[in-house]
Chains A and B, each alone.
Chain A
Amino acid sequence: MNTTIMLFLIQDGITNGAIYALLGLALVLVFAVTRVILIPQGEFVTYGALTYASLSAGQMPGTARLAVAMGAVAFFLDLMAARRSLGFRLVARAVAVNVVLPAIVLALAMWSAAHRAGVAVNIALSLAIVAAVGVFLYRIAFQPLAHTSVLVLLIASVGCHLAMQGLGLLFFGAEGQRGPPIMDAAFSAGSLRFTGQSLSVYAITVAFIIGLWLLFGFTLYGKALRATAVNRLGARLAGIRTSLSGQIAFLLASLIGAISGILIVPITTLYYDTGFLIGLKGFIAAIIGGLMSYPLTAVAALLVGTVEAFSSFYASNFKEVIVFTLLIPVLLLRSLAAPAVEEEKD
């Protein structure tokens, strides 16, 4: 092995790792607030990436219609939940959030697909579509289950993953797609080549880590989210709307997923089911971070990315085996280091 290969592998690992870090952060966020282990995170990645690719290719993505359909269901659920105290404001809000907003996004997507709008518009639209799907997903699937155990939430989460992956195949077909790069610029430093794309991966990851840290550390909404995570009942008694916290968490997670997808779709071809494995690696990073710590998750993600890059170079046959078994010693160390006394949780 020479230094060039090593540097190249490290660079590759860091780029992948940065994506895993973003996803890991989203998983930590959602778990902390809602106790849901978000398996469909991978679908947010593919939906974001393939929606962006479809729009760029002048096609109408099916995800926009999905958002409208889910909005309709959410609207119905909102009305059902509030059927004893229906007021004008409540109905108006439900209509605006669940019906009007996704309809506008759908109209814009149709217009954009027909007129081949620029990269920026397509990115914004893709984010809006996936964010809507994310928020409605929480409203429809998880909000009615919010009181149940982590295990039940996890199984529901797997159910959502199956349904969304199936829908992904329906919308985007079995063919892989690539999207246009966000930035074409590139420069070289020594033997390494930096593309604008990989640099924007780094920049956005760092921005998100800092952003989340600021959000949770210094804003009232962030603190409300954390309070929900620690004690649902207590948070409700203090006037925090826990269902809103859940929706915000899913909004952020779906945005992060979609951004990750848009960042990688110019680098690698994405298929409707690629997201799952990518999400899983973000998951590993999140676990190493203990589903608690954001900085640790980011560091762990870089580690996972680098290990993956090196093992795919040396033992590509056993790449997945190595990445997944990496987890066991880490888990063991973590659980020995902090033998948390966990009592009375269910």
Chain B
Amino acid sequence: MAARLPVVIFALVMAAIPHLPHMPPFWIVLLDNIGLSALVAMGLVLLTGVGGLTSFGQAAFCGFGAYTTAVLTTVYGISPWLTLPASLMVSGIAAVLLGLVTVRLSGHYLPLGTIAWGLGLFYLFGKLEFLGRNDGISGIPPLAIGSLKMIDPGTIYYAIWFSVLACALLTMNLLDSRTGRAIRALRRGHIAAEAFGVQTPRAKLIVFIYAAVLAGLSGWLYAHFQRAANPTPFGAQAGIEYLFVAVVGGAGYVWGGVLGAAIVVILKEVLQSYLPYLLHGEGQLETIVFGILLVGLLQLAPAGVWPWLMSWLPRQPDRKRPDTSLALPARARTAGLPNVLLQIEHARKQFGGVIAVNDVSFDVGVREIVALIGPNGAGKSTTFNLITGVLTASGGAISVLGKKLANAPPQEVVKLGISRTFQHVKLVPDMSVLENVAIGAHLRGNAGALASMRQIERVGLSDQIDQPAGSLSLGQQRIVEIARALCVDPMLLLLDEPAAGLRHMEKQRLAALLRQLRDGGMSVLLVEHDMGFVMDLADRVVVLDFGTKIAEGTPAAIKTDPEVIKAYLGAAA
């Protein structure tokens, strides 16, 4: 519970603030606004900072929340508490509809798409008759518990900050869960996540809806706080401001959202109330100063103020460890396996006029280490991508245990017990080694952390378990990838240049580990350039050159094969 202690203290402090003697009501209003803004920012932290999906449209979701309760309470006289689920639902459904369209957008199209519908909805709010056009809806009833009406800022304060704290805890728990790790993997591209069974479009949609529902909650509170709703606070300007809040506070951190909200709201308020006295100026002096301060703040702390502050803390918080004494369900292995695990028949991949893989056929047997070698550009990694479903084949058939894959997507291939590493390491650099490896256990339910502890011990990286993956050497990062692949409990392990960047001793340890895995019943297919490593380890070697298989056989036979020597050293040799 020690990890929760700061949160409890924070909650107590926040609860005590309204009871402080001589607390000016003005500051309570300010704190209310900070809370409202923090709720939206928290959603953005998850969406943008963690998931990598930038949205300018969050203010529109606040609008959905606020207008829903405004219409239901004023026109139909429904109690505000009953409109809460309705508000959240409407925001959520709007997010599903908009999300289905926009989450599919890749790269920069997504933020731009959110600007587009953010602006469109803002103008729509101001044009629709039943939403009161630009004047909006007023006379919204206050929240009430029994006879206690939350009319003044000091009472609704509790409703707002209770929501903030509850959502912060919820968000942190979500981030620490299996779904959370899948979301955190999104920002670094989807190939690695999909290779371990993460349904990336669904994960994106989930964060999108989650962020929208938080915004809807903020909108609902706002409507009952202001007791009115009009389009202005739900426009593009507000949408951009929420993004400010998240980025200034620290887009990757839940508390960064709260801190950012405090900084931005207080800064704006202070500038608006004191600047005119200081400079006797006319016009929008406060926007000028605000803009300049914002740029300055970003130059000072580009990752946000929260991580900048945290780096001053003397002691980093401890991390919790899963209980390693529990047993894990292992993959049911079919008794009396056939001898051939993976069969590739006439696989073919064409990129335009280039034939990267040309009618390649080979097998990987049970308990066998097969090496795929060949000069650069021979089509080795492309073959890997065909097997794991990252690329769709132009022809041929790939089957696992006699069952054809038929261009199954990566998420399906991994379910068959095939896991892989990547030639260019695909880890999330700011997640710890443990968290990265746990992505590999995505399909194994909530036992992910446990499975990953075991695999990290197995590959000998226990000392680095809590370090951010990005701080490891390239060779160690490759080992982390292997541990992640092992978390799948695979039948076939595909390793793309596992020994590159490893030192001699590390290579020997890796070879020993792979032999041990084979003897335990696993098959390995590896691409590797280190011939000493390959010839020493592999049971069989397949040689590719310009997309075509030129030889196959035992290491001893391959070493003397004239075709292979020609491919590697040229005709004259």
Q: Is B108 an interface residue (CB 8 A)?
A: yes
Q: Is B123 an interface residue (CB 8 A)?
A: yes
Interface string of B284-301 (1 = CB under 8 A from A): 111111111011001100
Q: Is A317 an interface residue (CB 8 A)?
A: yes
Q: Is B377 an interface residue (CB 8 A)?
A: no
With A324-B119, A325-B120, A331-B116 in contact, is A166–B240 under 8 Å at CB? Answer: no
Stretch at the interface among B76-84, B183-191, B395-403: B183-191
Q: Is A185 an interface residue (CB 8 A)?
A: no
Q: B298 contacts A155, CB within 8 Å?
A: yes
CA distance A70 to B246 in the complex (A): 29
Instruction: Say which residue of B113, B288, B426 sits within 8 Å of A162 (CB atoms).
Output: B288
With A152-B298, A156-B298 in contact, is A325–B291 under 8 Å at CB? Answer: no
CA distance A301 to B471 in the complex (A): 46
Instruction: Say which residue of A155, A165, A344 sits within 8 Å of B287 (CB atoms).
Output: A165
With A317-B127, A318-B123, A340-B106 in contact, is A287–B112 under 8 Å at CB? Answer: yes
**Chain A nearest Cβ from B306, distance in angstroms:** 14
Taking CB atoms and an 8 Å cut-off, the chain A residues in 263-317 that contact chain B are 280, 283-284, 287, 291, 317
CA distance A336 to B102 in the complex (A): 11
Taking CB atoms and an 8 Å cut-off, the chain A residues in 90-132 that contact chain B are none
- Contact partners of A79 in chain B: CB under 8 A: none
Using CB atoms, name the residue of chain A closest to B54.
A151
Chain B residues within 8 Å of chain A by Cβ, number: 50
Q: Is A163 an interface residue (CB 8 A)?
A: yes
Instruction: Say which residue of B54, B116, B290 sits within 8 Å of A325 (CB atoms).
Output: B116
Stretch at the interface among A142-150, A219-227, A228-236, A254-262: A142-150
Q: B105 contacts A331, CB within 8 Å?
A: yes
With A144-B299, A160-B295, A346-B187 in contact, is A328–B116 under 8 Å at CB? Answer: yes
Taking CB atoms and an 8 Å cut-off, the chain B residues in 230-250 that contact chain A are 240, 243-244, 247-248
CA distance A144 to B244 in the complex (A): 19
Q: B247 contacts A328, CB within 8 Å?
A: no
Q: B107 contacts A324, CB within 8 Å?
A: no
Q: Is B109 an interface residue (CB 8 A)?
A: yes
**Chain A nearest Cβ from B204, distance in angstroms:** 13
- Contact partners of B102 in chain A: CB under 8 A: 328, 331
- Contact partners of B188 in chain A: CB under 8 A: 343-344, 346
- Contact partners of B283 in chain A: CB under 8 A: 166, 169-170
CA distance A323 to B251 in the complex (A): 31
CA distance A309 to B418 in the complex (A): 57
Q: Is B319 an interface residue (CB 8 A)?
A: no
Q: Is B58 an interface residue (CB 8 A)?
A: no
Q: B127 contacts A145, CB within 8 Å?
A: no
Using CB atoms, name the residue of chain A closest to B286.
A166
Using CB atoms, name the residue of chain A closest to B117.
A328
Q: Is B124 an interface residue (CB 8 A)?
A: yes
With A166-B285, A166-B291 in contact, is A344–B424 under 8 Å at CB? Answer: yes
- Contact partners of A327 in chain B: CB under 8 A: 112-113, 116
With A148-B302, A152-B247, A325-B117 in contact, is A334–B295 under 8 Å at CB? Answer: no
Q: Work out how many contacts link A and B, with CB atoms closer than 8 A.
A: 146
**Chain B nearest Cβ from A66, distance in angstroms:** 11
Q: B109 contacts A159, CB within 8 Å?
A: no
Q: Is A252 an interface residue (CB 8 A)?
A: no
Instruction: Say which residue of B101, B240, B286, B289 sits within 8 Å of A328 (CB atoms).
Output: B101
With A328-B102, A341-B191 in contact, is A163–B292 under 8 Å at CB? Answer: yes
Using CB atoms, name the residue of chain B closest to A288.
B112
Q: A156 contacts B294, CB within 8 Å?
A: yes
Instruction: Say which residue of B106, B191, B288 sits within 8 Å of A163 (CB atoms).
Output: B288
Q: Is B48 an interface residue (CB 8 A)?
A: yes
Q: A318 contacts B288, CB within 8 Å?
A: no
- Contact partners of A341 in chain B: CB under 8 A: 189, 191
Main SS at interface, chain A? helix
**Chain B nearest Cβ from A144, distance in angstroms:** 5
Q: A145 contacts B291, CB within 8 Å?
A: no
CA distance A334 to B117 in the complex (A): 17
CA distance A291 to B110 in the complex (A): 13
Q: A141 contacts B295, CB within 8 Å?
A: yes
Q: A145 contacts B298, CB within 8 Å?
A: yes
With A320-B123, A324-B116, A344-B426 in contact, is A151–B298 under 8 Å at CB? Answer: no
Q: Is A182 an interface residue (CB 8 A)?
A: no
- Contact partners of B282 in chain A: CB under 8 A: 170
Q: B101 contacts A332, CB within 8 Å?
A: yes
**Chain A nearest Cβ from B565, distance in angstroms:** 35
- Contact partners of A336 in chain B: CB under 8 A: 104
- Contact partners of A346 in chain B: CB under 8 A: 187-188
CA distance A325 to B116 in the complex (A): 6
Q: Is A158 an interface residue (CB 8 A)?
A: yes
Q: Is A239 an interface residue (CB 8 A)?
A: no
Q: A342 contacts B106, CB within 8 Å?
A: yes
Instruction: Say which residue of B240, B284, B295 sits within 8 Å of A156 (CB atoms).
Output: B295
CA distance A321 to B119 in the complex (A): 7
- Contact partners of B105 in chain A: CB under 8 A: 331-332, 335
**Chain B nearest Cβ from A151, distance in angstroms:** 6
**Chain B nearest Cβ from A304, distance in angstroms:** 12
CA distance A287 to B124 in the complex (A): 22
- Contact partners of A151 in chain B: CB under 8 A: 48, 54, 243, 247, 251
**Chain B nearest Cβ from A72, distance in angstroms:** 15
Most central of B54, B107, B251, B289 by chain A CB within 10 Å: B107
Q: Is A212 an interface residue (CB 8 A)?
A: no
- Contact partners of A190 in chain B: CB under 8 A: none
Q: B284 contacts A145, CB within 8 Å?
A: no
Q: Is A57 an interface residue (CB 8 A)?
A: no
Q: Is A240 an interface residue (CB 8 A)?
A: no
Q: A321 contacts B127, CB within 8 Å?
A: yes
- Contact partners of B107 in chain A: CB under 8 A: 335, 340, 342
CA distance A312 to B481 in the complex (A): 57
CA distance A145 to B299 in the complex (A): 6
Q: Is A244 an interface residue (CB 8 A)?
A: no
Q: B120 contacts A321, CB within 8 Å?
A: yes
With A318-B127, A344-B189 in contact, is A331–B113 under 8 Å at CB? Answer: yes
Q: Is A139 an interface residue (CB 8 A)?
A: no
Q: Is A161 an interface residue (CB 8 A)?
A: yes
- Contact partners of B191 in chain A: CB under 8 A: 341, 343
Q: Is A209 an interface residue (CB 8 A)?
A: no
CA distance A39 to B288 in the complex (A): 15
Q: B127 contacts A160, CB within 8 Å?
A: no
Interface string of B313-356 (1 = CB under 8 A from A): 00000000000000000000000000000000000000000000
CA distance A336 to B117 in the complex (A): 19
Using CB atoms, name the residue of chain B closest to A170.
B283
Taking CB atoms and an 8 Å cut-off, the chain B residues in 196-232 that contact chain A are none
**Chain A nearest Cβ from B268, distance in angstroms:** 11
CA distance A283 to B119 in the complex (A): 13
Q: A159 contacts B298, CB within 8 Å?
A: yes
- Contact partners of A166 in chain B: CB under 8 A: 283-288, 291
Q: B127 contacts A335, CB within 8 Å?
A: no
CA distance A320 to B303 in the complex (A): 35
Using CB atoms, name the residue of chain A closest to B187.
A346
Please list the 9 inter-chain residue pairs (A to B) with the smallest Cβ-Cβ separation, ordered nearest first: A163-B291, A162-B291, A159-B294, A166-B288, A343-B189, A327-B116, A166-B287, A166-B284, A159-B291
Not counting A165-B284, A325-B120, a sample of 8 additional A-B residue pairs whose C-beta atoms are within 8 angstroms of each other reads A148-B302, A165-B287, A166-B291, A284-B116, A321-B127, A332-B104, A343-B426, A344-B426
Can you identify 7 A-B contacts, CB atoms within 8 angstroms?
A: A163-B287, A165-B287, A287-B109, A317-B127, A320-B120, A324-B117, A324-B120
